[in-house]
Amino acid sequence: MTSEPMLLALSAALCLALALPYTTALVLKLGLPTMAGNRENFPGVEGWIGRAKRAHLNMVENLVPFAALLLAAGALSKMGPLTVLGAQLFFWGRVAHAAAYIAGIAYARTAAFLVAYVGMALIFVAVVR
């Protein structure tokens, strides 16, 4: 079984990896001078590139509370089956969320988000128990 710290590290790696596709696509689409510049008057990003960017930003927003919950669980010696399950749900939910978001599958994206959110809720329950 994968431990909570490993799932936190994998989640952080996923967050880092999610920046690569849209950044590479934007460099190819807009050119390196535009991407290396100050990005004033930056054009809107649409299609899969925009969805990939939003998937990455959504992961950043959710990684912070996930990490805080796991760190609190560890500091309070509350790690156990509930935190493992919560961390697994978070990680795999986020993998599915990113895939569905980039592919443009709206309801699957929402379902995957909820799976990850339930994972965080389980960790919270373990912390406050």
Annotated domain spans of the chain: 4-128
Supply the pLDDT for residue 2. 67
Supply the pLDDT for residue 95. 98
Task: Identify the CA nearest to 63 among candidates 3, 18, 126.
Answer: 18
Phi, psi for 45 (deg, rounded to 5): -110, 125
Within the chain, which residues score under 50 in pLDDT? none
Determine what percent of the chain falls in helix, strand and coil, rounding each to the nearest 5. 85, 0, 15
- Residues 4-128, CATH architecture: Up-down Bundle (1.20)
Helices (H), 37-105: 47-75, 81-103
